Structure 1
C-alpha cells in the first residue's frame, strides 16, 4: 500500500471516529438537558386556543424564518378541515413579516430553539396543551416536511374513523419495525386521555441527532401507543399501497408493450421495486411509490425531501409537476418557488 493510500485510510478512519464521537456527545448532551422548555416567545394569534376542541400542532423550520406560500396553503387547509392551529417554529429567527402572516391563521405561535428536532417541538406543544388534552375531540401533529394538501384534506380525514383506531397517520412503514410515519398524526380522545400518550412525551430528551430521534422516538411512539392498548392505523396503509402498485406494474406487466417502451433505467427501477415488494422487503412509499400514491389513491401530499434531495434516486422526478397536475388543481408554483428558494441555501 502506497503512502498516499495509507494516508487516505487514516483520514477516513479519523473522520469516522469523529462522527461516532459527535453522535455520542449529542446524545449525552440531550440526556443532560434538564431545561423543560426552549420556547423563546409565545405569541398570541387570532382566537382563544384553550376553548377549542380540534387542535392542530404544526411544526416549522426555515433557515431565515420565512413562511413560504406552501406552508400558508397547508395552514389554510387545516383551518378548512376544522382545526385551530398551534404553530411551533424551530427557525433560528422569526421575522415580524412571518408573524404577521401567521397571526390570522393561528391561535398561538411558539418560537423555540431547534433542540430535539420535530419531536422536541412536538413535546413542547403537547405539554403546552397538557391541561387541555382530556377535553379535545381531535389533536393533529403535523409538520412542513410535505407539500400539499393537493386535495381537500377532509377527503382523507373521513377515513379516520375513531371506532377503528385511536391514533392515525397518513402512511405507515415496516422498515426496521412497524410504525406510523410522524409527519402527520391524528389522535382521538381515547389516546389523548391515556397515560401512555402523555408519559411518552414527558420522557423525550432533547437530542440533536436525527438517527437517534427516528430510532428512539418515531419508531418508539407507535410501540408506546400499542403498549398502552391503543389501536393505531394509517389512512393509506402500506399493504393497500403495494396492492395498487402490483395491480399496475405486476401481473405480467414486466413483459407488456407499455413497460418495454420505458427507458432502461425506469424498467430497472420498476423491476427492483417489484422484487422488493414480492420478497417482502419494505420500501418507503412516500418516496419510491409517490406517483402511484398521488395518481391512483388520491394521496394529498408529496414529501419535500423527495424533490429537494431525492435520496433514493427515484427516476423521472423532473416530471413531478405534470403528475401533480393530473391529479389535482394544486398551484404547483408554490412548490417551484420553494425549490428555488431552497436551492439558494445549499
Structure 2
C-alpha cells in the first residue's frame, strides 16, 4: 500500500467546521497514512476535537498566503517525511467525492511521473491544478522542492499566487528534470464546434442574458478551465469533484442548475 502524507489546506469565511469538510476528510482518511489539516479559519475547542477524530494533526495559522502558505506550514511541520512514498497537497476548493472513488488516489499513484495531479489545466501554460497534487519521493526529497517552498511569500492577489506558485511550481520542477503528469489531461485547444456544444448544453430560454454572456465568454477565452467548462468530462473519467467557485459564484455564466439537478445537496454549498 502506498504510504501517503496528506496536508489539507482549509479556509471557511464563516469559521467552524462544515459538514462537507468532515465528509471529505473522512473519505481521505483510509487512503492516507497521515492526515494534517492546516486552517486559516478560527476553530473552537470542540471543532478541534471533532477534526482530530479524523486528522492526525490540526494546525491553525493567520490568514495570509492563501493555500500555499498553509501547505508551506504543513510541510515545515512534517519534514523530513521519512517513511512516506508520497506527499499529497490538497485543499477544500472542490466538493466531493460525489460518487464512489475508492481507487482514485491509487490511479494517480500509478502514473509514472514524479509529480502527479488529478486535473491539468492549460490556462497560463500547462500546469497541474493545485487542489490535488501528489509528490513522489524523488520530488519531495529534491533540492528544487525545498527551495520552492522556502521561497513562498504572501501574494497580493489570488491571480498573482496562481501565476507565481501554481504555474511557477510546474516550471521549477520541469527545469530541475522532474516529470509531471495528471490523471485528466484536457485538450490544449478546444475547437469551435465543441465550444458551441458546450454553449448549447448551458443555454436556456429562461435565462437569455446568462446564456448570451456564456457564449461571449466561450468565444473569447483562449483556453478553458476543465473544472468549470468540462466538469461532465471529469465525472465521466472517474473524478467526482465539483469546484466550489463554479457552484458558488459561477464566473463563466454556466448552467449550474444542471449540476444541482444531479446533486441536489450542492444547492447549499458550504
Deviation larger for 111-120 or 149-158: 149-158
Counterpart of 1:80 in structure 2 is 30
Given that 2:148 and 2:169 are in contact with CA atoms closer than 8 Å, whether structure 1 keeps it comes out as: yes
The residue that corresponds to 1:219 in the other structure is: 167
Distance 1:65 1:263, change over 3 A: closer
Structure 2 distance, partners of 1:163, 1:309, is 33
Task: List aligned pairs for 1:40-59, cutoff 5 A.
Answer: 53-59=3-9
* Residues 1:101 and 1:176: Cα distance change in structure 2 (over 3 Å): same
Q: Output the TM-score relative to the length of structure 2.
A: 0.85
Residue 111 of structure 1 is matched in structure 2 by 60
Q: What is the match of residue 62 of structure 1?
A: 12
Q: Which residue of 201, 205, 208 corresponds with 2:153?
A: 205
Larger Rg: 1
Shift of 1:141: 0.5
Q: Please give the alpha-carbon distance, in whole angstroms, between the structure 1 residues aligned to 2:85 and 2:220.
A: 39
Q: Please list every run of 5 or more consecutive structure 1 residues that lacks an aligned counterpart in the other structure.
A: 1-51, 325-331, 340-346
* Cα RMSD, aligned residues only: 3.0
Alignment of structure 1 residues 253-268 onto 2, 5 Å = 263=204
Question: Against the structure 1 CA distance between its residues 167 and 136, is the aligned structure 2 distance closer, same or farther, given a 3 Å change threshold?
Answer: same
Instruction: Could you tell me which runs of 5 or more consecutive residues in structure 2 were left unpaired when the two chains were aligned.
Output: none
Alignment of 1:291-302 (within 5 A): 291-294=232-235, 296-302=236-242
Q: 1:114 to 1:267 in 2, by over 3 A?
A: closer
Question: Residues 266-311 of structure 1, C-alpha deviation per residue, up to 9 Å, x if partnerless?
Answer: 986887788679xxx31111112223422x3232200001111011
Work out whether 1:286 is the aligned partner of 2:203. no
Shift of 1:174: 1.1
Determine the C-alpha separation between the residues in 2 that align with 1:96 and 1:310. 34
> 1:323 aligned to 2:262?
yes
Q: What TM-score results when the alignment is normalised by the length of structure 1? A: 0.68
User: How many aligned positions are there?
Assistant: 264
- Alpha-carbon shift at residue 210 of structure 1 (Å): 1.7
Structure 1 residue 175: Cα displacement: 1.2
The structure richer in helix per residue is 1
Residue 306 of structure 1 corresponds to which residue in structure 2? 246
Indicate how the Cα distance of structure 1 residues 104 and 208 shifts in structure 2: closer, same or farther if over 3 A, else same. Answer: farther
What is the CA–CA distance in structure 2 between the aligned matches of 1:241 and 1:58, rounded to whole Å? Answer: 32
Q: Secondary structure at the match of 1:154?
A: coil
Aligned in 2, Cα 1:317/1:141: closer, same or farther, shift over 3 Å? same
Q: Residue 240 of structure 1: CA displacement?
A: 9.5
Which residues of 2 match residues 1-346 of structure 1 at below 5 A?
Answer: 53-91=3-41, 93-132=42-81, 134-162=82-110, 164-239=112-187, 246=194, 249=197, 263=204, 281-294=222-235, 296-314=236-254, 316-324=255-263, 332-333=264-265, 335-339=266-270
Tell me by how many angstroms 1:159 deviates.
2.4
Q: Once the 2 structures are TM-superposed, how far is the Cα of residue 249 of structure 1 from its aligned partner?
A: 4.0
1:205 shift after superposition: 1.1
Q: CA deviation at 1:200?
A: 0.6
